[in-house]
Amino acid sequence: MAIRDIITPSFIKNVYALGVDLTLDNGDPYPDELFQHAIDAAIGMMEAELGIVIDPFKTKGERHDAHIKDREAWYPFYLDNRPLISVDKISITLGNYPLVEMPKEWATIASPQRGEFHLIPTSETLGSFFFRSGIPLIFGDVFSPYSYVPSYFTVEYTSGFLFESGTATIPQGQKSVDVQLTSANLGGMRPNIVLSNIVASGATGIAVRSTSSDGFTISCNVAPSTGDCTINWSMHTVDATLLRAIGIIASFIPLNIAGDLIAGAGIAQYSIGVDGLSQNIATTASATSAGYGARIIQYRKELADCITTLRAKYRVPNIFSV
C-alpha cells in the first residue's frame, strides 16, 4: 500500500471533479494518464513544499556536523527527510576516513513529524564510547582541541508515512475483534483505517470503534450468525489535510481542460437557429478564463489554508550556528 493507492484517478473524479463532464468532444473519457500525471505532480509539489516524503524511503549517507555546544542538548539532529520512522544506523568519521559505527540504540526520536532525534547513551552501550569536549570519540583524544567537526556524523534512516493492510475476522456469535498493527510505534501519528470487501455473514453495523497507537478494534451491532465475518482493512498515517491538498492540486489540470471544452474546444458561446427559432448558449469560459474558474478559485483558497496548517506541523525550526 502507498499514497497512490489512496489518491487515484477515480478518487479525483469522484471527489474533486464531481459533476464535471470529463469527456472529450468525441465523447471519449479523459485518459487515466492525465489524472496520474496530475497526481504525481501534486505529490511532488507537496513533498517539496513541506520537506517531507510520503511513501516510505530509506536514506543512506546523510552527513551532519558536530558542535561542542550541542552536547548540552544531547546532540539534536534534524534530518532532511520527514516524518521519521526509524534511525537504522549512525556512524562517525573525520573527513573521508572509514566510517565507525555507533550504537543505534543511542538514537532517541523526539519528533517524528520534524525528523528530530537526539543521541542519548543507553546503559548497555555506555562503555563503548566516551565524551571528550562534548564530542563522542572512538580513539584517544584526537578531536579534543576542536569545537566543530564538519560532516562528523553519518545517518541512515527510514522516513515517510506508515502503510499497512490485512484481514480481520469477527468469529460467529461475537461482536468485535482487536487488530494489532505491525508498526507498533506510530510516532504520535494518528492511524486512518479503511474497511473493505466485508463478508458480513449476518453481521450489521460493522465499523472501527476505537483506535490507538498500536492497533484498533472492529465491532458490529449484530454479531455474525451464519459464519465468521471477514473484513479487509488498510491503515495509513497520512494526514487528512495533506490528502486534501494533494487532491486539490491534482484536480487543477483536469478542471482546466474541462473548462476549455465545456461548450466544445475553443468555444465560449454559440447560437442555433432553425425556422425562426433560435437558442443562444453562453458559458463562463473566455480567452483568459476556464469554464470552471470559480471552482478553481475556491480550491486555491482551501489549498492556502491546508498548506498553512501543514507547514506549522512539518516545518523544522530555523536552526543555525553562530
My answer on whether 217 and 263 are in the same domain is: no
CA distances, 141 to each of 23, 119, 134 (Å): 72, 20, 11
My answer on whether 167 and 150 are in the same domain is: no
**pLDDT reported for residue 321:** 42
My answer on whether 213 and 276 are in the same domain is: no
My answer on whether 96 and 106 are in the same domain is: yes
**pLDDT reported for residue 320:** 47
My answer on whether 167 and 89 are in the same domain is: no
My answer on whether 199 and 258 are in the same domain is: no
Sign of CA dihedral 269, 273, 276, 281: negative
pLDDT tens digits, one per residue of 216-261: 999 999 999 999 999 999 999 999 999 999 999 999 999 988 877 6
Distance CA 171, CA 194 (A): 20
Q: 159 phi and psi, to 5 degrees?
A: -130, 170
pLDDT exceeding 90 applies to what percent of the chain?
52
Average pLDDT over residues 80-89: 92
Last residue of a domain, which of 235, 269, 287?
Answer: 235
262 vs 299, residue with greater confidence: 299
- Could you tell me the CATH number of the domain that includes residue 201? 2.40.30
pLDDT tens digits, one per residue of 172-193: 999 999 998 887 567 677 889 9
Sign of CA dihedral 54, 56, 59, 63: positive
Closest Cα to residue 71, out of 146, 132, 154, 125?
132
Domain of 225?
A: 163-235
My answer on whether 43 and 62 are in the same domain is: no
**pLDDT reported for residue 102:** 86
My answer on whether 83 and 138 are in the same domain is: yes
Alpha carbon 237 to its chain centroid, in Å, reads 7
User: pTM of the full predicted structure?
Assistant: 0.80
Distance CA 140, CA 144 (A): 9
Average pLDDT over residues 41-60: 94
Cell of 322: 553562530
The total of structural domains in the chain comes to: 3
Average pLDDT over residues 27-39: 93
**pLDDT reported for residue 287:** 47
My answer on whether 64 and 148 are in the same domain is: yes
Statement: residue 99 has pLDDT above 70: yes
310 vs 268, residue with greater confidence: 310
**pLDDT reported for residue 95:** 83
**pLDDT reported for residue 316:** 67
pLDDT exceeding 70 applies to what percent of the chain?
80
Name the least confident of 31-45, 84-98, 144-158: 144-158
Task: Work out the mean pLDDT of the chain and round it to a whole number.
Answer: 83
pLDDT-derived band at 12, boundaries 50, 70, 90: very high
Average pLDDT over residues 71-98: 89
Statement: residue 66 has pLDDT above 80: yes
My answer on whether 217 and 269 are in the same domain is: no
My answer on whether 200 and 289 are in the same domain is: no
My answer on whether 180 and 243 are in the same domain is: no
User: Quick one: three-class SS letters along 87-122?
Assistant: EEEEEECCCCCCCEEECHHHEEEEECCCCEEEECCC
